[in-house]
A and B are shown apart, each in its own frame.
Chain A
Amino acid sequence: MSRLRRLWNVVRRSRMDDDLRHELDTHVALIEEEERRQGLTADQARRNARTRFGNPHAYRERALDAVIATWFEHACKDVRFAARVLRRAPGFSATAVLTMVLGIGANAAIFSILNGVILRPLPYPSSERLMYVSAQHPAVGTGAVTLSPPEYKELREVNRSFTAIGAFAPGAGEVNLTAPDRARRVRSANVDEHLFDALGLQAAQGRLFAPGETGRPDPAAPTAPVAILSHELWQTAFGGQPMIGKTVEVNSRPREVIGIMPPGADVLNHRTEIWLPLGLGPSELRSRRAHYLHVIGRLKDQVTAEAAQTELKTLNEGWGERVGVSDHMFAPLPTDGAARASNPDAGHVLQMSPLHDQIVSPASRAIWMLQVAAGLVLLIVCANLANLLAARVAMRRRELAVRMALGATRGRLLTQSIAEGAMLSIIGGAAALWIARVGLHALTQAYPMALPRSGEVSVDLPVLLFASGVAIATSVFFGLVQLRHIGMKGVAAALTDAGTKGATGGTRHYIRRSLVVVEVALAVILVAGAGLLIRTIANLGNVDAGFNRSRLVTFSITLPGATYPDMTRQVQTFLRLLDALRAVPGVEAATAMSGLPPHRPVLKMNTRIENATTPSVGPFHIVDYYQSVMPGYFETMGIPIVRGRGFQSTDTASSGLVVVVNERFAARFWKGLDPIGQRVKPGNDQAPWFTVVGVAKDVKQGGLDQDTGTELYKSVLQPQSASPSHVVLRTTLAPAALSQTIERVVREMDPAVPVVRLRDMEAVFAESIQRPRFLAQLLGLFAGLALLVAAIGTYGVISSLVAERRRELGIRLALGASRSAVLAHVMREGLLLTAIGVVVGLAGAFGLSRLIASLLFGVTPTDVPTVAGVTATMIIVAVVACLLPAWRASRLDPNAVLKV
């Protein structure tokens, strides 16, 4: 600790300086006294004293320099000594540094993610006051529902808890933007001006939407529609050129750019590139059935979250009387069928949660789990480090004891062993941070969509502090562990029993054995977790998506409403496009549809179903997915028709209206009835009846880990269908080989329409399980690290036990024990520790199973094959780790050993 105090003194130079000045003054005064005693006058004495003494400033400088030089000299000596000590034991040093790099690196990387995604506040002023407001339907148990425009408007007017409430609608989520170089597809957010107030966003250039500008544009008004660009889009699409007041084409309509957002500005992790007006006109403000507004409010400063939630609840109760309507969704749940038919949306309650949770919660469990896993890796590393040190101290006891006997103080030895630790930690910490940076970069590149707020993840100051904290703790720990033994025992005892096994050897071995058990147990927990997630990935990969995924290439285009105002125009264009694509060499079949599996959100469409055998939830049945398809859909996708027929070229606008349903649909709604010939009314009561002509095999529309759901197919050649936007080609060519041809064909059709997400279907599905794959790979990596470090630990303990028991083993051999018996003896020792570790670890893994259960698919946390696999893995690792020391023990030469 004296080193620290010296450093403190150097820092507190001024105080030292004061002392010194006093001291020098005293000296001059004493000379003066002497001169006076010799008979000089006070004046002369003072002058003489000054002359005799010389320049006190220079002395002060020199004195301080001397202190700093001494301090520096000592520090250098310690560092050189530490380097020499560590160089003398390269195996130890390399192992210590390597395990430290792995432990700290893994933690720094995961902590960067934890910090960037979860801990750091959202990038808005006072972001903790931002709330996400949604409606819940407790009676039905559905998740959060977005609000309808009239309810949003009413909430704005009646609430007293919020300073500002704004709305955001993803709309289609994307728009076509005609930039100078090419048409591109950009992510869009439709917002009103209140949202900017609520979030506290400011424009970096120009201005944000003005009041009245976000309503439905009046065709007669002279003002042009407006748009705001994100900083990133401004840079990439327009090269950072001045854009305010310029016109851009969005979905083939001109819009004036009125502002540029600051870098990173976004809403709800939407990765917004262009901000467009929300467009709530009189007709939108009447439609209570359309729930599409994400509502974000900023709490008033003096209002607590609890108070606001209570207010929302009371608002719920008097809503109808306050706004003068009965068909709102906050009306009490009706009891009789007729009332339910008149207001099928009733029974919702208003709910709010912190905006931060809304953005982060989908990934937070996975991230916390990874942090726990990284923490376990660090614990294993620490256990291993303690183990390495214990072994090293055992070997260095004589050296340390000799140095103490020669007069080195405990403080001095402690300083030196901390210098050794610091040296290891600095090397380890720096390498770890580098690894964390590289690793994070690789992770965010490989899994851009697996994390919300991934753009905010970086190795920044909190991460640096975290990593240096871990490194410093490690170095102090290092120093203390090294000296503990010397401190507890007298120098003489250390000198006499160093090198042999003393009475206290047993305790030390007990501690080191426990450390091995701890390492193995922690490794088992990690390996078990990784095993479960790897099985999850395998299960997801084996799920039958319901169609033939191989050799399918898909891309998306959107025909803007401005140039293609009606469905007929759109369908005609798509038919021409598909013809052109089919003519491309290597393309076997082509089709298009409205929704691409496996990323489709559940639509839950109200549908009237004739002769349904199951009771309906309202006046309608709820169908999970509608899919509008172009001709050749089932053939191109490879979806088998299990009953009846698919769509034919004769199913046109003028022929009878037909639909195809999936197997789940038929089984759910027409139990025991023949689905062919049954009738449905898709969408609303005014829709015409459609007749079922076929049943298709189930397709995993919503994701491999999701329930299949009920599905209804309509043909785009018949009324009431949605416009297609996803094209699928069955081809022998790779997407890369096709991309130029496809872009040319689409450009010839309409140069303002960009081709996006051109990929093969396997890649689309791989991306859909990105998050579990991300988790499994990281956890697998950690488990691998844990295994490696635990193996090193086991090897270290067993081999040092062998080294310290050479004499005993030698005697056994000399007394006639066979070499295989000695080998078995040592192996048994190692395997017993491993077995205890495995049992403890499995218990721990079951204890932690709740943490992981929700992340699994098709496997339970107590999965027997996984447990068996983990146990087998651990045993194999232990055998490998113990084999070398055991073999060495069995090769001992009794003569050589006993002579010593």
Chain B
Amino acid sequence: MPKHTNDRLQGTLDLLILNILARGGAQHGYAIAQRIHHATDGSLRIEEGSLYPALQRMTHEKWLRAEWGVTNTGRKARFYTITPTGRRQLEQEERRWLTLTEAVARALRLA
């Protein structure tokens, strides 16, 4: 079964995308990439090569909905919004992420 080799990172990327869309409403790919870039002060840069496959996959998982629209500079772009299923997924991913990071942090402190 083909599964992404970098499972954890993929999960992280999903989480970031879902989070941005849940907070910021409809966004196109470029904007999502920019948002992540700025929100992390440039420490996390999303590669376009990972972004678009993730968006495609998440659309097909029914977490996102994609619609063609026009950017404020008048360019045709695909806008993504989060679906209710996506919100549930976000909650789960978030919980999982917090549990994991907490656990890792604790382990690091105690070690």
Which A positions have Cβ atoms within 8 angstroms of B? 2, 6, 9, 19-20, 22-24, 26-27, 29-31, 33, 53-55, 58-60, 62-67, 69-73, 76, 407, 409
Contacts and interface: CB of A to CB of B under 8 A. Distances in A.
Given A53-B48, A72-B2, A29 B56 contact: no
A54 B48 contact: yes
Interface stretch (B17-25, B74-82, B94-102, B103-111): B74-82
B52 A70 contact: no
5 contacts: A20-B52, A22-B76, A26-B77, A30-B28, A63-B55
A70 B48 contact: no
Nearest to A9: B60
B41 interface: no
Contact of A67 (B3, B49, B57, B75): B57
Nearest to A407: B88
Contacts of A27: 28-30, 33, 48
Contacts of B29: 23, 26-27
Nearest to B49: A59
Contacts of B1: 72-73, 76
Interface string B1-39: 111000000000000000000000000111001000000
B78 A58 contact: no
Given A23-B29, A30-B30, A70-B57, A62 B49 contact: yes
Contacts of A6: 60
Contacts of A53: 48
A407 B28 CA distance: 28
Instruction: Give the interface residue-count category, chain B.
Output: 20 to 34
Interface in B40-76: 47-49, 52-57, 60-62, 71, 73, 75-76
Nearest to B88: A407
Nearest to A55: B49
Given A23-B52, A54-B49, A66-B54, A29 B75 contact: yes
A403 to B, nearest CB: 14
Interface of B: 1-3, 28-30, 33, 47-49, 52-57, 60-62, 71, 73, 75-78, 85, 88
Contact of A30 (B3, B49, B57, B75): B75
Contacts of B76: 22, 26
Contacts of A31: 30
A202 to B, nearest CB: 54
Contact of B49 (A9, A58, A72): A58
A71 B76 CA distance: 28
Nearest to A77: B1
B56 A22 contact: no
Nearest to A61: B53
Nearest to A409: B85
Contacts of B88: 407
| Closest 5 pairs (CB-CB, A-B) | A66-B53, A30-B30, A66-B57, A63-B53, A63-B56
Contact of B75 (A2, A19, A26): A26
Given A19-B78, A33-B75, A73-B2, 16 more contacts: A6-B60, A23-B52, A26-B71, A27-B29, A59-B48, A59-B52, A62-B49, A63-B57, A64-B56, A67-B60, A69-B3, A70-B60, A70-B61, A72-B1, A407-B85, A409-B85
A722 to B, nearest CB: 79
A487 to B, nearest CB: 19
A69 B76 CA distance: 28
B94 to A, nearest CB: 16
B71 A30 contact: yes
A70 B63 CA distance: 13
A53 B50 CA distance: 12
B82 to A, nearest CB: 15
Contacts of B56: 20, 63-64, 66-67
Contacts of A407: 85, 88
Nearest to A71: B60
Contact of B53 (A30, A59, A409): A59
A23 B55 CA distance: 11
A22 B78 contact: yes
Nearest to B61: A70
A761 to B, nearest CB: 68
A416 to B, nearest CB: 15
Contacts of A60: 52
Contacts of A62: 49, 52-53
Contacts of A67: 56-57, 60
B32 to A, nearest CB: 10
A65 B53 contact: yes
A63 B30 contact: no
Contacts of B57: 63, 66-67, 69-70
B53 A23 contact: no
A525 to B, nearest CB: 49
Contacts of B62: 2
Contacts of A72: 1-2
Contacts of B78: 19, 22-23, 26
A27 B2 CA distance: 28
Contacts of A71: 60
A32 to B, nearest CB: 10
Nearest to A29: B75
Contact of A23 (B33, B71, B73, B77): B77
